[in-house]
Structure 1
C-alpha cells in the first residue's frame, strides 16, 4: 500500500463529520502497514480548518481551496479529486457513502482505472491483508472484499465508523494543491440551498434512540414510542420489517440497509435482532431490549432485557420518566 486518502469537505462553515469518520477507518487500515493517512480538504476557504484534521487523525492534509468549491458542484469536485489522486498516488481513496460520495466514487474510479467497493460497514487487517466488509442480499449476508490491486476507491456507510478521540498535540504536513478548474466544469449551478426542517432530533445524531419492530403489531405502536422519545429528547427508528410493512417511513430504518446509529442509549421494542439490524446499532453504548420472546437474538447484545408485552411495559416506563422529570 502507498497511503490512504480520505475526502474531507466543508459543510455549513465547518468540516463535515463524514471526514472524521473516514479518518478513523483510514487509520485502522493504514497503521498495520506503517502508511500515512492523507485528508483532502475541498472547499472555498479551508486554511482555518487544517488543524482539526490533524487532531482527528490525518498525517498529511492536501489543501485544495478554490472559489469553485464553495458549494458542491459534481464536475468541479470530481476534477479536484482526480488531480489530488494523480498528484499523491494513494492506494485507497475513501469517501462517505452519502449522496455526494455515491455520485463521485464510481466516476472517480473510472477516471483512475481503479476498483471500487461500496457501502462498507467494517474494515480489518488480517495477516497483512486488508478486508472490507459490506452487506449483500439486502443485509442478509456479508461480503468480504480483499484487494487484488490498487488504486481502490471505497465508500463507507455513514455512522458505521466513529471518529477517533481528538489528540490536540498532533501535527502534520500540509500540501497545497494547485487546482486547474476551468469555468466549463461548473455545468451545474447551485441556485438555492434549503435545509430540511425535521421535527425533533435527527435519528443519526440522537443520544437516545427508541427502535420499533414487527413485534409492535402495527403503526399505532410507534405512537407510543414517539411519546417516550419526545419525553427523553430522543428519536424513533425502526427495523426493516416495520418499514417494509409500511408502518413508518423508510427514512426511519436502522440497519445495514438503513441508517447506522451510535446513541448513548438504544431501546429496542419488539425487535427480534436480525444480523442486519444489529449491525446498525453496534455503536450504541447501552442497549435495552423489550420483547415477548425470551429467545430473541437481541437479548444476546443487550445490557438489559425485559421479557414482556410492550403495551404494558412502555406506558409504565413513560409514567416513571414523567415522575422523575417532574412532568
Structure 2
C-alpha cells in the first residue's frame, strides 16, 4: 500500500537515526570494561536465541510466513526499552547501552542472514524475499542513519540531545499509522494469527529472559550485569522486526509482522514479571559469584 511504501522506510530510518543520536564511540569502547558479560550476552543473542526459536517454530509447526516472522523477531537486537527495565530492576544500564550499540550494528548483517536462511528453509517454492540487493537496502536504511546520528551527536551534542525526543515521537507516530493500516487489511485473519502465535511468542519471551539472566550467572558474571543482560536479551526490538516485515522494499508481508506485533505486547508483562522475580531474590542475600565488578 502507498502508506507503507512511503512511510515504512522513512520510519525505520528515523528510528535508527534516533538510535544514532544517542550513541558515541565511547559506547563501543565499554565492551573492554565488561568483556565476559558482553561476550556471553552477544553469544546468547546471536546464536542461542535463533536456535531456540527455530526449535519452537518446528515444534509448533507454524505456517511458513509466521515461522519466518518468528525467526525475524529472534534475529532482532535488543530494544531500547531494555535500558528502562534494567534501570528499574537494578541492572547495569551502562552495559545495556553497550550491548544495544553493538547489537544494533551487528544486526545489520545478522538479521538479513537469519532471515534469508529462514526464507530459504520455510519459503514457498524456494523464493527468497530478502536477497542480496535487498540486504544492501537494509544496510542503507539501517546503518547509514545510525552513522549519521552518531556524527550529529559528535559534532553537535546539545542539538542531538534536543532532537532525541522529537525523533522518537515522529518515528512512533509514523510507525503506528502504518501498523494500523496493515492490521485493517488483515482484520479478518487477525484472531487466527494471534491464536497461532500467542503461546509461542510467550514461551520465546520467557526463555529469552531466562537465558539472558541464567547464562551470564553460570559464566560467573555479576548480578547487576546479569540483570542488564536479562533485559537486553529478553526484550527484542519488535518495532524493527515489524518494520522490516511490512516494508515493501524488504519483506512486504503482513503475516510476517504478526509474531513481532504479538510479542511486542506480551514482552512488557513478561519482562516486568522477570524483574520483580529477580528483585525478590535479591531480598535474600546470596554469595556473588563474579570476577567482574560493577
Flag whether TM exceeds 0.5 (same fold).
no
Q: Highest Rg: 1 or 2?
A: 1
Q: Relative contact order (C-alpha < 8 Å, sep 6+): which is higher?
A: 2
- Bigger helix fraction: 2
Q: TM-score range by the shorter chain?
A: under 0.3
TM-score, scaled to structure 1: 0.24
